[in-house]
Amino acid sequence: MSVYKRGKYWIVQFNHNKRTYTRSSKSTRKRDALELERQMRQQLVDTQVLGHREHIKLHDACDALLSTSKESGAYSTLVTATNRFKDYFDDILLDAITNRDLSRWVEYERKRGIKDITIRLWSRQFNKICRNANRLGYYTPDYEWGEWNIKDKPIRYLTDDEEQKIIKELDPSSAKDPKHKKGRQAARDIFILMVDAGFRINEASVLKWSDVDFDKGVIYLYRSKVSNDDFIPMTSRLRMVFVNRRKLIDGEYVFPGRFGGHKTIQNNRALEAAFKRAGLDDVSSHNLRKTFATRLLSRGAAITDVQHLLGHASVKTTEKAYAAFVKNERFKQTIDLLDKPVT
């Protein structure tokens, strides 16, 4: 069947030259979907047989791709990206967008505080929009724009001196108000957990005592981002943190809120305040996880082991995120060979 109803709208779907074409009619009437199918089939004939093409506006090209995509994590990213494109470029023809226009858009998003890794993710969606529009028989930009337009920034991780500065700022005895001592102690313990085990801030905040195995010296962790179960071995410093904390905390969560449960936002704010007091305005809680990874890699850990400890679904994710760091470390080790005596 070439048309069917999904939710309240009729959907067009048919095969042509071994390819499947799908688009939402955005109509509750079947006859509108049948008319859309007729137009789509005619457009394919005009494009593939007669060589005719038409222009399409960016907004329509975005909607055309959205109508064929399933609602998932990737769909959510696509929705966000298309909204950003629509807001910036207004109602422009897709093939009128130049490489310079996209470079300006990158700078615009950076000024809004959007990180390069997010902009890179959105740029991939632009290529998908263009490829889909081209497949449907519309004019598209004559280039493939994407990640090469966005230069990677050096990985921000903590030096040993910076770590000590932050730990000093999180010392409970440094709190002027006695009410803040307990909060600083919790933030200090979370800081060590993130640096020594590579936890994300939300993973640290929801950690339960049932996940901490003192006998085996490991922490069990379910990573919802990749839907898998992991265990992370404890360092001696982290084990001591848990031992001391267990004497103080008797509830379900290792880092409970004032009224039970957990408190991700408060923990993150406490860490960010400590970073600022230490004069490290360019550091965020996620840099603690990067510190964990770079320390392992600089000490010769296998990239696959780091992948599993970080909870990445694919080693390619780890390689891509830390490729520049690994390369620099390898070069340093190579040059260090010159300082060794020849035997």
C-beta of residue 263 within 8 angstroms of C-beta of residue 253: no
pLDDT at 148: 44
Strands 19-24 and 228-233: unpaired
pLDDT digits (tens, 9 = 90+) for 249-300: 888 899 887 655 566 667 788 899 999 999 998 898 989 999 999 999 988 8
d(CA 324, CA 321): 8
d(CA 110, CA 115): 7
Residue that has been written with the tokens 């990874």 in this structure: 293
Exposed (0-12), middle (13-18) or buried (19+): which is 69, by Cβ within 10 Å? Answer: middle
pLDDT at 22: 78
CA 201 to mean position of chain CA atoms:
14
Grade residue 75 by pLDDT with cuts at 50, 70 and 90. Answer: confident
User: Which whole number is the average pLDDT over 102-110?
Assistant: 87
User: Which whole number is the average pLDDT over 213-233?
Assistant: 80
Measured in residues, the chain has a length of: 343
Residue that has been written with the tokens 């909060």 in this structure: 183
C-beta of residue 136 within 8 angstroms of C-beta of residue 179: no
The domains of the chain, with CATH numbers, are 3-149 (no CATH), 160-336 (1.10.443.10)
pLDDT at 258: 64
pLDDT at 295: 93
Lowest-confidence pick of 74-78, 120-124, 166-170, 240-244: 74-78
Residue 295: both structure tokens together: 């320390």
Sign of CA dihedral 324, 121, 282, 315: negative
Position 278: which residue type?
A: A
pLDDT at 248: 84
d(CA 206, CA 253): 7
Q: 22 forms bridges with which residues in the sheet?
A: 13
Sheet with 218-223, strands from edge to edge, namely 212-213, 218-223, 228-233
Helix spans in the chain (H): 30-48, 58-66, 73-89, 99-111, 116-135, 160-169, 181-197, 201-205, 236-248, 264-277, 286-298, 303-310, 315-336
Torsion from C-alpha of 268, 272, 274, 276, nearest 10 degrees: -170
pLDDT at 114: 85
Residue 108: CB atoms within 10 A of its CB come to 14
> Over 50: is that where the pLDDT of 126 sits?
yes
C-beta of residue 246 within 8 angstroms of C-beta of residue 255: no
Position 105: which residue type?
A: W
> Over 70: is that where the pLDDT of 151 sits?
no
Average pLDDT, rounded, for the chain: 82
Grade residue 120 by pLDDT with cuts at 50, 70 and 90. Answer: confident
| Of the candidates 66, 68, 39, 69, the residue with the CA atom closest to the CA atom of residue 137 | 39
The long-range contacts involving 323-329, CB below 8 angstroms and separated by at least 24 positions, are: 324/152, 324/154, 324/155, 325/155, 325/294, 325/297, 326/297, 329/297, 329/298
